[in-house]
Amino acid sequence: MQSVVQSPAVQSHFRAGLIAIVGRPNVGKSTLLNHLVGQKLSITSRKAQTTRHRVAGILNRDRTQFVFVDTPGFQTQHLNALNSALNRSVKQALREIDAVLLVIEAGRLGAPDREVIKLLPAGRPVLAVINKIDRLEDRALLLPLMEKLAAEFAFTAIVPVSAKHGQGLVELTDAIASHLPLRGALYPDDQVTDRDERFFAAELIREKLFRSLGEELPYACSVAIDQFVEDGSLRRIQATIFVDKPGQKAIVIGEGGERLKEIATAARLDMERLFGSKVFLQVWVKVKSGWADDSRALTRFGYEP
């Protein structure tokens, strides 16, 4: 069992609240959300900025409803219209929440983390989540790090976890619960997210782009769902991948269409697992130059204004 540094509070009756998961890019926020709710709701990859949309995951446990809100990593560089929209999404989430999980990578508290800390709302519980403790070569370094954070910042709790391996998550939810408001449930107890299947279809295609392509190209891609039809036990989905340049289109399609086929097949299989039905998926690739700085295009792709 992991140690938890926490101020005392008493839990009683039913509690429910919105909990924002925030942090710099690529600290494991989406993996944390997925493991907390026990279902893949937020796409993941080894690349930063995989998450571009807020996604809520709902967990009901011990007379408490936790509504975890995964947010994009806060951007401090390359502030085009897309990254500005992502930052607005983070700030909006922080205005609406009851508590905050600030995710920090074990052993790597740096300037980008401090930029996120500056955004945190006053008067709300903020729990520091030290993630990726499984990567620490020496676990003896963990307690001094927790003590340093406790001395430097007024965190409500400091909880070490490994989101990838599910370590420390019971301690984390225990630490959150007593700081949520006493009130009724915000969502029905059988609902696990605030997003619909159309959203997840686009996200799963985008995840496969991040996992299949090189370091830079995924950031030049976005996905729009053109058609989503439920036909009995079959979902018929048509989607378009938008890229910034003609050369990028050729890379996404690949020789003889092989890469696009691999991306679409991997996305379709994940959709079938998530939706619990067969999926007929058609995917096209089109060029839309400058889409990341085009507010109308961003709205079409589902980014918040």
CATH number reported for the structural domain that contains residue 67 in this entry: 3.40.50.300
Over residues 65-76, the mean pLDDT reads 78
Mean pLDDT, the chain, integer:
85
Instruction: Give the pLDDT of residue 11.
Output: 41
Q: Are residues 41 and 137 in the same domain?
A: yes
Q: Which residue, of 148, 177, 206, is where some domain finishes? A: 177
Q: Are residues 211 and 161 in the same domain?
A: no
CATH number reported for the structural domain that contains residue 258 in this entry: 3.30.300.20
Q: Is the pLDDT of residue 1 over 60?
A: no
Over residues 124-141, the mean pLDDT reads 88
Identify the CA nearest to 170 among candidates 182, 159, 180. 159
**302 vs 126, higher pLDDT:** 126
Q: Are residues 217 and 71 in the same domain?
A: no
Q: Are residues 31 and 165 in the same domain?
A: yes
Q: Are residues 160 and 292 in the same domain?
A: no
Q: Are residues 69 and 135 in the same domain?
A: yes
State pLDDT tens for residues 172-204: 999 999 999 999 999 998 999 988 999 999 999
What the block records as the tokens of 21 is: 């998961």
Strand partners, 228: 237
Q: Is residue 88 part of a domain?
A: yes
Q: Are residues 70 and 155 in the same domain?
A: yes
Instruction: Give the pLDDT of residue 127.
Output: 96
Identify the CA nearest to 283 among candidates 304, 303, 254. 254
Q: Is residue 182 part of a domain?
A: no
The residue segments making up the domain with residue 279 are: 197-300
For the ranges 156-160, 207-211, 226-230, 254-258, the lowest mean pLDDT is seen at: 207-211
State pLDDT tens for residues 216-275: 676 788 899 999 999 888 999 999 999 999 999 999 999 999 999 999 999 999 999 999
State pLDDT tens for residues 20-55: 998 888 888 889 999 999 988 887 776 656 666 778
Instruction: Give the pLDDT of residue 9.
Output: 44
Q: Are residues 158 and 221 in the same domain?
A: no
Q: Which residue, of 147, 177, 207, is where some domain finishes? A: 177
Q: Are residues 143 and 217 in the same domain?
A: no
Q: Is residue 186 part of a domain?
A: no
Q: Are residues 221 and 289 in the same domain?
A: yes
Q: Are residues 260 and 228 in the same domain?
A: yes
For the ranges 5-19, 122-136, 197-211, the lowest mean pLDDT is seen at: 5-19
Over residues 57-70, the mean pLDDT reads 93
DSSP line for the chain:
----EE------S-EEEEEEEE-STTSSHHHHHHHHHTS--S---SSTT---S-EEEEEEETTEEEEEEE-PPPP-S---HHHHHHHHHHHHHHHH-SEEEEEEETT---HHHHHHHHHSPTTS-EEEEEE-GGG-S-GGGHHHHHHHHHHHS--SEEEE-BTTTTBTHHHHHHHHHTTS-B---SS-TT--BS--HHHHHHHHHHHHHHHHS-SSGGGG-EEEEEEEEEETTEEEEEEEEEESSHHHHHHHH-GGGHHHHHHHHHHHHHHHHHHTSEEEEEEEEEE-TTGGG-HHHHHHTT---
Other CB atoms within 10 A of residue 287 CB: 13
- How would residue 56 be classed by pLDDT, with cut points 50, 70 and 90? confident
Q: Are residues 12 and 104 in the same domain?
A: yes
